[in-house]
Amino acid sequence: MSEEYVLQLQHIRKEYPGVVALKDVTLELKAGEILALIGENGAGKSTLIKCCSGAVIPTSGKIIVNGKEFSSPVTVVYGHNMKNGSMFADLHKYEDKAFFDANPYVYIYTPDRTLKYHIFSATPFDDRYLLGSYNFSSQVDFEKYLDELRSSINGNVNMGVNVLQQTGILTLSTCIADSPNERFLVNATWEE
């Protein structure tokens, strides 16, 4: 698949108990292209859009934004803080300074490699859609985002971690139960 696509969905599947909402959805969207989803009630249109926005995590499949997978200057992975403690609930452990200091790495496992990221901040952040709010290929926007993450007074920050546009930022984003206008972000940069 080409890097000219701004959004690629590959074999997206979403299952709920007793229901398959999406089954093997694959599509590609180029910059400036308009795509309409048409279907009957219950066909999965809303679920697909929620998967694209990060509001719903697919059961399987791959979503690639701007043609790159974990190689863009900033990769954002959206998840939820489920009441049963699943999905991204454990990200909130990084609110504790001792946990933050004792657990400085996050690993991403892909079919062909393991990516190691060094965590440099864990902080509350407003709930704007990050990929639509910045042009992360711009050094100015990248630095602005990095400065916002590092200047948090309500989170944990390790200023000793060197973050460059070349090593990128992996942002893991989850909701905050009692603050619907904020997200909790754990941010790391690629190390090896």
Do 107 and 178 sit in the same domain of this protein? Answer: yes
Q: Pick the last residue of a domain from 65, 98, 116.
A: 65
Question: pLDDT at position 59, please?
Answer: 77
Grade residue 1 by pLDDT with cuts at 50, 70 and 90: very low
Question: Could you tell me the residue range of the domain that residue 115 belongs to?
Answer: 74-190
Q: Pick the last residue of a domain from 37, 65, 93.
A: 65
Do 157 and 88 sit in the same domain of this protein? Answer: yes
Do 108 and 186 sit in the same domain of this protein? Answer: yes
Question: pLDDT at position 11, please?
Answer: 86
| 20-77 residue pLDDT tens | 999 999 988 887 788 888 989 989 888 888 777 656 667 777 777 666 555 568 888 8
Do 145 and 57 sit in the same domain of this protein? Answer: no
Structural domains counted in the chain: 2
Q: Pick the last residue of a domain from 43, 65, 87.
A: 65
| 82-136 residue pLDDT tens | 666 666 778 899 999 999 999 999 988 766 677 889 999 999 999 888 877 888 8
Do 117 and 184 sit in the same domain of this protein? Answer: yes
Do 23 and 86 sit in the same domain of this protein? Answer: no
The three-state DSSP-derived secondary structure of the chain is CCCCEEEEEEEEEEEECCEEEEEEEEEEEECCCCCCCCCCCCCCHHHHHHHHHCCCCCCEEEEEECCECCCCCEEEEECCECCCCCECHHHHHHHCHHHHHHCCEEEEECCCCEEEEEEEEEEEEECCCHHHHCCCCCHHHHHHHHHHHHCCCCCEECCCCCCCCCCCEEEEEEECCCCCCEEEEEEEEECC
Do 56 and 81 sit in the same domain of this protein? Answer: no
